[in-house]
Copies of this chain bind each other. A is one copy, B any other.
Amino acid sequence: MTPTPVAPVTGHNPQLIDVSRGTMVESRHRAAFAVADTDGRIVLSAGDFERPVYARSAIKPLQALPLIESGAADAYALSNAEIALACASHSGEPRHVETVLAWLARIGCAPADLECGSHLPKNDTAMRALLRDRVEATPAHNNCSGKHAGFLTLARHIGAAPKGYIAYQHAVQQRVLGALETMTGLDLGTAPRGIDGCGIPVIGIPLGNLALAFARLTDPRDQPEARQAACERVCAAMAAEPFMVAGSDRYCTRVITATGGDALVKTGAEGVYCGALPKLGLGIALKVDDGAQRAAEVLMGQLLRHFGVLDESQAELLIEPLRNCAGTRVGEVRPTADFPV
């Protein structure tokens, strides 16, 4: 790859999260975030929320909309568990993988049709079991396999070739792009673009517009009727099946479970997090400058606390303890002293 032209570095985002160890701050994370209502008003923000970011897997709930509004989800009688998996970065635990395999079989596809590539399960127990049993990881174990099963289902339903469904020009990705455009309120045809970890296009979108899209997910009254039903179904599925959205001990699953679905949050690689707060009609989008997931989680926790969706009783969703090899608590990931809220 030859060096590509890149957007100039602009904006100096505030230090929002730090990592302490013993008597000192060891590491520091800068971030930007936006919280929007369904009219696109930014009700809370920090940093440069107008700069495009790749939302990575954090926008899977938006990428799942065409699957539903096209009629594909109904045609193949998708369950809440399957729709939650379409929105998921799952841990590759047995229930995730088995559900994807059964789904693929129902649409006449095999794991080899998934174009996401393979990696070992993120869940430690599942990873160890696979290696112990000398089972090779397949694309079904990939954390994105549910999203890709959704893409294949959509391809089947609209009569597009399943092969090559990850390409920007493929009908599936064009439908996804269309949904992103109407949800974010942007023309994304000339937006910055790259390739995601699982091979699909990633599109640069400002945090403010991502926050609007997630607010709309909770209250899609300005969207077409089929879109409205699709938004409701995505929210209902994520709330009903939090395990399918991520997995054991994962932050997304813990938050959705702890809040009883009042916060539908979704992580993305490189320090992105998005969330929808159905009762408040708000959407949240954040990115940690340096891509650190630990900081993205704590930042999301602090915003959820600010909006009253989490409280101090859920301490380990607000501040993450840092433990060493022996299990000793040696520090923590936490908001900085001058955290804005």
Contacts and interface: CB of A to CB of B under 8 A. Distances in A.
Contacts of A1: 321, 329, 332
B22 A325 contact: no
Interface residues of A, number: 67
Contacts of A9: 15, 18, 25, 28, 336-337
Interface in A301-336: 321, 324-332, 334, 336
A19 B23 CA distance: 31
Given A24-B7, A132-B131, A117 B291 contact: no
A49 interface: no
B194 A24 contact: yes
A197 B324 contact: yes
Interface string A204-235: 10000000000000000000000000000000
Interface in A1-35: 1, 3-9, 12, 15, 18-30
Contacts of A327: 117
Interface of A: 1, 3-9, 12, 15, 18-30, 52-54, 115-119, 128, 131-132, 134, 142, 192-199, 202, 204, 270-271, 288-292, 295, 321, 324-332, 334, 336-337
Contacts of A197: 324-325, 330
A148 B334 CA distance: 31
A57 to B, nearest CB: 12
A330 B117 contact: no
A22 B195 contact: yes
Contacts of A128: 131
Contact of A326 (B5, B117, B325, B326): B117
